[in-house]
Structure 1
Amino acid sequence: CGALGAAIEASIVAGINKDPANAAERMVKVEKVFTPNQQNVEKYRRLFRLYKKLYELLWDYYDESWRTYSSL
């Protein structure tokens, strides 16, 4: 999470925590750990390849949308 990373860095700069490991230990709470199902590895790979293709194909539309909305 970007906000959490920024908060961790800010706590180090402010002297609250001495380093990223110390800050993460004090600030991050792991609620649940997900373990990939090894039987589905090929499915995960195919889905990720599809995601990357869609992302590349739609990038220009995302960019145009962002520029349009940010100019309003």
Structure 2
Amino acid sequence: MVNGEKSYTAGGAMRAPSLELLCKFVISAWNKVKAETVARSFMKCCIANPLDGTGDDLLWEIDEDEGQNYESSSG
């Protein structure tokens, strides 16, 4: 999408990509995301936690590698 041919309107604004190209871009991006990342994100947001409350503490637990990622991305 970034490297493809671009077309412009008469006013000079870049045209939006076609729906097909946009869908291919989204599919490609989603295929690069690891399933583990998606699962951990749901757990972190308490979306996939058991209803009996057994996973409630997961929101407040940060793995060492996660903490390092937060520190490096904030600064």
Q: Report the TM-score when normalising by structure 2.
A: 0.31
